[in-house]
Amino acid sequence: MADQWQRVGALDEIDEDEPMSVRIGDHTIGVFRIDGSLYAIEDICPHAFALLSQGFVDGEEVECPLHEAVFHIPTGRCLKAPADRDVKTYPVKVEGDEILVNVSD
């Protein structure tokens, strides 16, 4: 399979309190930085349409800005209704000062 690592931005473009939203093909992905580690999750809340990258980050959790569902960023696990499923997570790596996300599956 082709290499599906895609550049999403530079490391200095993402702050702890300012997640980034990127589109890669059909995927809308939120990239979060927590304690220096990067995580990429499906950015569209499974409940309705809201971008989790515009939500409220508290430690490793993000609260949807629309109806307050909560997700665990490192695992994508849904912790609080009204969303009723987990969000997908994507592998992230850093090369030099570039952030890359793998969207292969």
Confirm or reject binding of residue 57 to ligand FES (CB under 6 A): no
The Cα–Cα gap between 78 and 92 comes to: 20
Q: How many CB atoms lie within 10 A of CB 14?
A: 16
C-beta of 23 vs 80, nearer to ligand FES: 80
Pairing of strands 27-34, 20-24: antiparallel
Q: Report the half-sphere exposure of 105 (CA within 13 A, side-chain side).
A: 4
Confirm or reject binding of residue 51 to ligand FES (CB under 6 A): no
The Cα–Cα gap between 50 and 55 comes to: 8
SS3 41: strand
Confirm or reject binding of residue 27 to ligand FES (CB under 6 A): no
Question: Can you tell me which of 22, 41, 57, 83 binds ligand FES, judged by CB under 6 A?
Answer: 83
Segment near ligand FES (CB under 6 A); pick from 1-9, 35-43, 44-52, 92-100? 44-52
Query: In whole angstroms, how close is the CB of 15 to ligand FES at the nearest point?
Result: 23
Query: In whole angstroms, how close is the CB of 47 to ligand FES at the nearest point?
Result: 3
